[in-house]
Amino acid sequence: MLESVPIISIIILLPLVGAVATLLLGRREEYAKYVAAAFSGAALVLTVLVTLEFVIDPSTTAARGYHDGHGFFNYQYYESYPWVESLGISYIVGLDGISLPLFLLTALLSFLAIVFSWDTKLRPKEYFGLMQILEVGVLGVFVAQDYFVFYVFWEVVLIPMYFMIGVWGGPNKDYAAIKFFIYTHIASLAMLVSIMALYFQAGAHSFSMEAIALAGTTNFSRLFQIVVFAAMFFGFGVKMPMVPFHTWLPDAHVEAPTAGSVLLAGLLLKMGGYGIIRVAIPTLTAGAHELQILMAVIAIASILYGALLSLAQKDLKKMVAYSSISHMGFVLLGFATFSSLGIVAGVFQMFAHGLVTAVLFMMCGVVQHKCGTRLIPSLGGLSRKMPVASTMMTIGFLASLGLPGLVSFAAEFMVFASMFDKWAMWLFLPILSVAITAGYYLWALQRTMFGPLTTKIDTSHLHDVDWYEGVPVGILIALIALFGVFPSLIFQYINPAVQIVTHLLGGG
């Protein structure tokens, strides 16, 4: 049924219409959240329907080869319309097993972030309008199959995030907002030049990812592939973020409002990882092979360095922010193995990290909201006053440190397995992070939630989570448990698509 309508475009348009409607509300600002929730919710419902109707058929997918009918990756819900014909630009969107989980994650987290922000009093109209524009951009990035369209959506994401940090952020928001903007914009521009180079070198007079990748198999020299892959890797890597281009992230997170952090860590970081696996590796396989070791080294450095930095943080939110660097390193490490197992694990880790980190940032927001501070030394014994909040926080931390039965475990375990398969004993390096991660989470938990009740802040009026905070976190925790126990619910989508990537990389 959904195949008969341009369903992806409709899903992307819904929040856009919602954003315009929200911004045009005029003086009735208090309705902004209802409008935003309605449009974003509708997009979520449609996305869930799309997910349920998505055809998983690994046998035929492998048999059909990788360029048949609906695009390189056997895209479903494929739409293609000419846009700027003089330059060969088309509006092409489609979903495959790699993009679908992230598309679903985007719709889910955007909606939950809107619900979580129910209490926003400061300029709600603009706030909810920007949240929806952000959703449009991220949704678009995950479905675009034309480089130009991809880049447009990619940049659309920047502006609302800049405003979210700059208007609704913390005390140092000006610095953080501009740093975020400049860092990620420079990264985007590296990507832009790479896209231009790909377009002309392919000579296909088309910005379609598929056309360029097909032409590239014969037209891209080895040196060209290395240079362009390096530029793309930089562009996407800054977004992920990878060490040493990660410094914008903690600043942005510390200052961003909670929902902004949720979207930033939950979705925006995934754009970088998605770009590497969707664009850089399949299009420039020779370049990827040359830089494989570099990718692995950077991944391991991110994993360890992010974890060590987390250990040193006094601010709860900053700790979570640095942990994101560490966890996104697993994504890159999985990709760097070039094996089916590793890439599937990497994509799954993006999905898992999206769910888990959303919980963590939401709980940091709750602590900040109720206690007025996020500084670990000022907190303590909060479980006495906030049992529900501390339970949720504990589950979030445990999920993030990779407790079996929760979603991250499956992803991280598979990354380790694929790494061992490839580089054997070098596994000892990334696996060190498991201990560090457990260390900083449990230590933080002990100092904030348990022990004697803190006397450094006024705890007399402390109360537990509000409904608009508890419900989104509750939903996320349920999903974390669900996909932790049944990871194959998501694997079944990712697996066939990744086979095509590994096929392109040669071997599998």
Partner 1 sequence: MAVVDYLETLLPQLVLIAFALLMPAMDYLFKKDKRVLSWIALVPLVSLACAMVSWLFMGVWKPSGAPIDVISVDQFSGLFTLVFLAVGIVVVLGSPEFIRADKNHGEYYSLILLAMVGMTVVAEASDLIALFVGLEIAGISSFALSGFRKSEKRSSEAATKYFIVGGFSSALTLFAISILYGIGGTTNIQALGSALGGASAPAWVQDSQSMVLLAVVLLFAGFGFKIAIVPFHMWAPDVYEGAPTPISGMLAAASKKMGFAAVFKVFLIGLLASKMQWEGAAAILAVLTMTVGNLVAVSQTNIKRMLAYSSIAQAGYILIALPVGTQYAVEGGLFHIITHAFMKSGAFMVVAAMGAAAVGERLDDFKGLGRRAPWLAFAMTLFLLSLAGIPPLAGFASKFVLFSSAVYASEAGPQWLVWLAIAGVLNSALSLYYYARVIKYMYMEKGPADKIAIPPMLKIAIAFAAVMVVLIGIYPDPVIRVCEHAAAIFTGLAPGV
The residues, ordered by sequence, that sit 6+ positions from 258 with a Cβ below 8 Å of its Cβ are 116, 117, 361, 362, 364, 365, 368, 369
Verify binding: residue 466, partner 1, rule CB under 8 A.
no
Taking the complex as a whole, the smallest distance from the CB of residue 200 to partner 1 amounts, in Å, to 5
Output the CA torsion sign for 289, 330, 131, 244: negative
What kind and span of H or E run contains 476?
Answer: helix 467-485
Taking the complex as a whole, the smallest distance from the CB of residue 208 to partner 1 amounts, in Å, to 15
Paired residues of 95 in beta bridges: 76
Verify binding: residue 443, partner 1, rule CB under 8 A.
no
Task: Classify 91 as helix, strand or coil.
Answer: strand
CB of 174 or CB of 421, closer to partner 1:
174
CB of 218 or CB of 460, closer to partner 1:
218
Taking the complex as a whole, the smallest distance from the CB of residue 272 to partner 1 amounts, in Å, to 17
Verify binding: residue 155, partner 1, rule CB under 8 A.
yes
- Written as one string, the DSSP assignment of 299-346 is HHHHHHHHHHHHHT-SBHHHHHHHHHHHHHHHHHHHHHT-SHHHHHHH
Taking the complex as a whole, the smallest distance from the CB of residue 459 to partner 1 amounts, in Å, to 33
Q: Which CA distances in Å does 210 have to 67, 159, 213, 220, 364? A: 8, 28, 5, 14, 42
From 80, 201, 378, 492, residue interacting with partner 1 (rule: CB under 8 A): 201
From 72, 78, 128, 162, residue interacting with partner 1 (rule: CB under 8 A): 162
Verify binding: residue 182, partner 1, rule CB under 8 A.
yes
Residues within window 44-63 making contact with partner 1, judged by CB under 8 A: none
Verify binding: residue 167, partner 1, rule CB under 8 A.
yes
Instruction: Build a one-symbol-per-residue string for 90-129: x at contacts with partner 1 by CB under 8 A, - elsewhere.
Output: ------------------------------------x---
**Residue tagged 């931390």 (tokens):** 397
Q: Which two tokens stand for residue 156?
A: 């659309």
Verify binding: residue 85, partner 1, rule CB under 8 A.
yes
Taking the complex as a whole, the smallest distance from the CB of residue 205 to partner 1 amounts, in Å, to 7
In degrees, to the nearest 5, what angle opens at C-alpha 155 toward C-alphas 238 and 496? 70
Q: How many residues does the chain have?
A: 508
**Cα–Cα dist 223/231, whole Å:** 12
Verify binding: residue 13, partner 1, rule CB under 8 A.
no
From 5, 55, 193, 435, residue interacting with partner 1 (rule: CB under 8 A): 193
Half-sphere exposure of 376 (CA within 13 A, CB side): 20
From 181, 229, 305, 348, residue interacting with partner 1 (rule: CB under 8 A): 181
**Cα–Cα dist 75/78, whole Å:** 6
From 25, 62, 156, 429, residue interacting with partner 1 (rule: CB under 8 A): 156
Verify binding: residue 163, partner 1, rule CB under 8 A.
yes
CB of 55 or CB of 84, closer to partner 1:
84
Output the CA torsion sign for 83, 88, 89, 93: positive
CB of 140 or CB of 334, closer to partner 1:
140
Verify binding: residue 152, partner 1, rule CB under 8 A.
yes
Taking the complex as a whole, the smallest distance from the CB of residue 179 to partner 1 amounts, in Å, to 10
C-alpha gyration radius of the chain:
22
**Among the residue ranges 44-52, 71-79, 194-202, 275-283, the one whose residues contact partner 1 (CB under 8 A):** 194-202
Q: Which two tokens stand for residue 479?
A: 């999903």
**Cα–Cα dist 344/11, whole Å:** 26
CB of 196 or CB of 294, closer to partner 1:
196
Instruction: Build a one-symbol-per-residue string for 129-148: x at contacts with partner 1 by CB under 8 A, - elsewhere.
Output: -------------------x
CB of 220 or CB of 351, closer to partner 1:
220
Taking the complex as a whole, the smallest distance from the CB of residue 27 to partner 1 amounts, in Å, to 12
Q: Are 280 and 226 in contact (CB under 8 A)?
A: no
- Which residue, among 279, 261, 280, 275, has the nearest Cα to 354 in the 3D structure? 261
**Residue tagged 């309008």 (tokens):** 129
Q: Are 145 and 210 in contact (CB under 8 A)?
A: yes
Instruction: Build a one-symbol-per-residue string for 380-419: x at contacts with partner 1 by CB under 8 A, - elsewhere.
Output: ----------------------------------------
**Cα–Cα dist 398/438, whole Å:** 8
Verify binding: residue 186, partner 1, rule CB under 8 A.
yes
What residue ranges bind partner 1 (CB under 8 A)? 83-87, 126, 148, 151-152, 155-156, 158-159, 162-163, 166-167, 173-174, 177-178, 181-182, 185-186, 189-190, 192-193, 196-197, 199-201, 205
